[in-house]
Amino acid sequence: MAKIELLGIEKTFKDETVIRNLNLTIRDGSFTVLVGPSGCGKSTTLRMIAGLEKQTAGEIRIGGTCVNDVPPGKRNVAMVFQNYALYPTMTVRGNIEFGLKNRGMPGKERQSLVHDISEIVGLAPYLDKKPQQLSGGQRQRVALARAMVKQPQVFILDEPLSNLDAKLRNQMRTELIQLHKRLGTTFVYVTHDQVEAMSMGDEIVVMDKGVIQQADIPSKLYHDPANLFTAQFIGTPA
Ligand code: ADP
Ligand code: MG
């Protein structure tokens, strides 16, 4: 578990500033959702937390420690992407344990971890199947399991459900909330869908044009929006 602090973060690509003066504390163990229209800077913010993109200015702390100079593999953060790629020739088991083999975890320990995690995400019956034999939801669970075996302090999920149909998306939302409860780890979740944000987050960060418009609990956003953008985006009744 770890809280994440973003202090005075800015990000400029060439001459375009896409994140401005971003100050945010993501509470330890929270399910925090970043929500906002396409292009507002959600993915860039996640990539900076994960260390896949370096901020132009400001400081990022994870668990109280400045990670500005810590490479992605050492930040104890695991990321699940929208367009997760599974290795097509490997089994589900192979996909899940791939990162563990690289780290040199002994076979017995690996087996037991993969077993436990595949039980949690409902993949136990499918461990010997190949990705193309799975449904969209099952493939998404493999991507999730692959992040879980790293046992990170922080899970970062970038629109992980957007390729699924509406029914499955609903089911996976519930499963992710249950998973968060069970693990107690900090989750940072990105979506452009305000309904998804309001139904999943215990803290919600509304972004527009690279700027945080409001960061609050769902009921406060709904009943006490800080500005017109948040009011319209979240959909306060007139
Ligand atoms: P979101 O995830 O909210 O849709 P992004 O963080 O992907 O938004 O992008 C924010 C802005 O930064 C967009 O204007 C996008 O075009 C720009 N951007 C993102 N990545 C790059 C990059 N590697 N080079 C140049 N511009 C980028
Ligand atoms: Mg994005």
The pick from 11, 15, 18 for probing ligand 1's pocket by mutation, whose C-beta has the most ligand atoms within 8 angstroms, reads 18
pLDDT band at 238 (very low <50, low <70, confident <90, very high): very low
In a mutational test of the pocket of ligand 1, which residue from 13, 47, 208 has the highest number of ligand atoms less than 8 Å from its CB? 13
Q: Kindly list the protein residues that place their beta carbon closer than 5 angstroms to ligand 2, a single-atom ion.
A: 43
- Calpha distance 14→177 (Å, rounded): 38
Query: Which residue in the block uniquely carries the two structure tokens 């088991």?
Result: 93
174: DSSP letter: H
Q: Determine phi and psi for 125, rounding to 5 degrees.
A: -75, -10
Atom number in ligand 1 closest to CA 45: 6
Q: What does the pLDDT look like over 39-70, one tens digit per residue?
A: 999 999 999 999 999 999 999 999 999 999 99
Contacts of 170 (CB under 8 A, 6+ apart): none
Q: What is the mean pLDDT of residues 27-41?
A: 97
Do 137 and 172 touch, CB atoms closer than 8 A?
yes
CA–CA distance, 128 with 117 (Å, rounded to integer): 15
Note the ipTM here: 0.98
- In this structure, of 20-29, 161-170, 195-204, 220-229, the range with the lowest mean pLDDT score is 161-170
The reply to whether ligand 1 has any atom less than 6 angstroms from the CB of 40 is: yes
Q: What would the mean pLDDT of 33-43 be, rounded to a whole number? A: 97
Q: What is the pLDDT of residues 150-162, one digit of tens each?
A: 889 999 999 988 8
pLDDT value of position 105: 83
Answer yes or no: is the C-beta of 87 below 6 A from any ligand 1 atom: no
The rounded mean pLDDT for the chain is 93
Ligand 1 binding pocket includes 152 (Cβ within 6 Å): no
What is the C-alpha end-to-end distance of the chain, expressed in Å?
40
Using alpha carbons, list the distances in angstroms from residue 76 to 58, 142, 202, 232, 233.
20, 19, 22, 36, 33
Report residue 236's pLDDT band, with 50, 70 and 90 as the boundaries: low
d(CA 33, CA 203): 6
Q: How far is the CA of 101 from the centre of ligand 2 (A)?
A: 30
Share of the chain above pLDDT 70, in %: 98
Band of pLDDT at residue 237, cut at 50, 70 and 90: very low
**Model's pTM, two decimal places?**
0.93
